[in-house]
A and B are shown apart, each in its own frame.
Chain A
Amino acid sequence: MSILELKKVQKIFGSGRTKVEAMKKTDFEAEKGELIAVIGPSGSGKSTFLSLAGGLQTPTSGEVMINGTALADLAEKKRAKLRLKEIGFVLQASNLVPYLNVGQQMQLLNKVKKGNMRKEEAETLYQTLGIEHLLHHFPKDLSGGEKQRVAIAKALYTNPSIILADEPTASLDSDRAFEVMNMLKEITKEKQKATIVVTHDTRLIDDCDKVYKMIDGKLELQEKIHHMI
């Protein structure tokens, strides 16, 4: 069974003359252990796709299923709980709380949810991501790459089954960007997560299992680009 499934999902903003179909009827599936990239120019509806998949907004029609649960059936409170349990967000602006140090970012998650990583597990994760020496640093003292790696650690810390990453490599130089992508791939395979990366950076999609292209609200499965070259 797919861990994340979108069935004929459509999203329309506004009505009448101002009506915008941000996402046309779309079917999408993600399995455990799959690294999927969604590419496309800005304004093509990538973020809409991500927010629908993550249960941050409800589709105009169609159904989003996470681990077999239909999101439409849940109230916002329950959806928030489901997000906390099943989804790890890696967000563009780096999802760090400015007044908590790196260690405390994880502690906060312990305050709101049970069943997070155990201490040893977390320490291995920090080492994998190369942030074990940053635990007492505050976000303002971290470089862009470090912040992004901490954000990934934070997304993984709650043991989610799905990772949704919104431009995880924005504001990183190429080397760092590849590094981050490799890390996401490793973790996806090793921990059997379904990882969806939304990006406009086509350099990063070589390692992905599937690549979708978003054009004007329509999601299309792409042939692997390196095959085409």
Chain B
Amino acid sequence: MFLAWNEIKNNKLRFLLVTGVLVLISYLVFFLSGLANGLEQLNREAVDKWEADGIILTEEADLRLQQSILSADDFDGNGVDEYTELTQLSAIASNGTEKENVYIFAVKEDSFIMPAVTEGNVFMDAGEVIADDTLKENGFAIGDELSLSSTDETLEIVGFTDKARFNAAPVLFTDRNTLETLQYGETVEEADDAVNAFVIRTDNLGRVETDEALQVVDTEIFIKNLPGYTEQNLTLTWMIYFLFIISAVVLAIFLYVLTIQKISIFGVMKAQGISSGYLARSVIGQTFLLSLAGVWIGVVLAVVTGLFLPAAVPVAFNYIEMLIYGIVLIAVSVIGAFISVQTIVRIDPLKAIGG
């Protein structure tokens, strides 16, 4: 570290440039990871909130909640710890001034997927809903009367809950009677009893027994098949992985050029008997210092940027993920330095003696 640190101190501009490149790359990595994470949340928050192990859909629905129509007595709870039914409807809700694409989930009030109210009250009477609190940020309030795009019926927000977005839209929670009224009007037969899915908790999904027409789906697989979810994620993840490679290559080239410049002085040191190992450790140590600094500044910049972004940009930082990405960035940088190490090992100390 003695050599590494003194070299950095005496060639500030050179090493500032290297660190600058690393800062930009790590900034982009962390920002993209925040964006990926935010977009994920946007899609899956409501499902994560269930803390469910699986979901039962019809086989022909192809893992799409909307397309799965089954009867409330199609499943009798065989092989699960807990289960509850879920009915959904998507619509455009308007309070007169603001319009928003929403999902309306009908849940049983005593079930485990019933959201905890963070503000206001639980729905009691027909037409009352609990809304995701992003609606509050978008100008909706308790007491608002919501008109819907697909029906003449109206809903009233009586409470808010947190973290309840599904497939990029906020969720309104209500009971099944209200939802059926929206779907089929006041004249609906009680016996109709159609639901979209059963949400289940169990230790072993394989033990769950259902009709042949039904399919037990792991929650994670269900999420991955939300429209656009996997495509979005893969795109961003690919960009992040590519940035890892880019940072390794850029740093490797930089260090290689610096090493080539120092061949004669390394030769002299080797002639004196300073081991290749010591010189190699010095280059590795230098890379570690530079990448640590670059990554650290990148994290700070990304988090600060996140604070100043408008709410419309769905950036959510997952600090554990950032820690892992930071370690990976430093690791690939150090791997990039190994090209230079090879060069150092191959330097012939004879070079020190001119001719």
Contact with A along B8-21 (1 / 0, CB 8 A): 01110000000000
Q: Which residue of A lies closest to B345 (CB)?
A: A76
Cβ proximity bits B271-287 to A, threshold 8 Å, 1 near / 0 not: 11111101000000000
Q: What is the CA–CA distance of A42 and B353 in the complex, to the nearest angstrom?
A: 13
Distance of A201 Cα from B217 Cα, bound (Å): 89
- Contact present for A97 and B355 (CB under 8 Å): no
- Segment with Cβ contacts to A, from B160-168, B262-270, B335-343: B262-270
CB of A17 within 8 Å of the partner chain: no
Cβ of A112 and Cβ of B274 under 8 Å apart? yes
Say whether A97 contacts B353, CB under 8 Å: no
* Binary B-proximity of A54-92 (CB < 8 A = 1, otherwise 0): 101100000000000000000001001111110101011
Q: B352: which of A89, A98, A112, A113 is its contact (CB, 8 Å)?
A: A89
- Contact A93 B350, beta carbon cutoff 8 Å: no
| Total number of A residues with any Cβ neighbor in B under 8 Å | 33
Within 8 A of B (CB), among A92-115: 92-93, 95, 97-100, 104, 107-108, 111-113
Q: CA–CA, A170 to B148, complex, Å? A: 93
* Choice from B11, B268, B349 contacting A93 with Cβ under 8 Å: B268
> Is A50 an interface residue, CB under 8 A from the partner?
yes
B349 touches A47 (CB 8 A): no
Chain B contact residue count (CB 8 A cutoff):
25
Rounded to whole Å, the gap between the CB of B264 and the closest CB of chain A is 7
Which of B271, B273, B276 has the most C-beta atoms of chain A within 10 angstroms of its own C-beta? B273
Interface pair A107/B350, CB less than 8 Å apart: no
Nearest-CB residue, chain B, relative to A104 = B6
- Convert A156-170 into 0s and 1s, putting 1 for each residue whose CB lies closer than 8 angstroms to a CB of B: 000000000010000
Contact A84 B7 (CB under 8 A): no
In this complex, the member of A43, A47, A84, A97 whose beta carbon has the largest number of chain B beta carbons within 10 angstroms is A97
Closest 3 pairs (CB-CB, A-B):
A84-B273, A83-B273, A99-B10
Residues of chain B having any CB pair with chain A under 8 Å: 2-3, 6-7, 9-11, 264-265, 268-276, 278, 349-350, 352-355
A-B contact pairs, 26 of them (CB 8 A): A47-B355, A51-B353, A57-B350, A77-B275, A80-B275, A81-B275, A83-B272, A84-B273, A85-B273, A87-B273, A89-B268, A89-B271, A91-B271, A91-B354, A92-B353, A92-B354, A93-B264, A93-B268, A93-B354, A97-B265, A97-B269, A99-B10, A99-B11, A112-B274, A113-B273, A138-B10
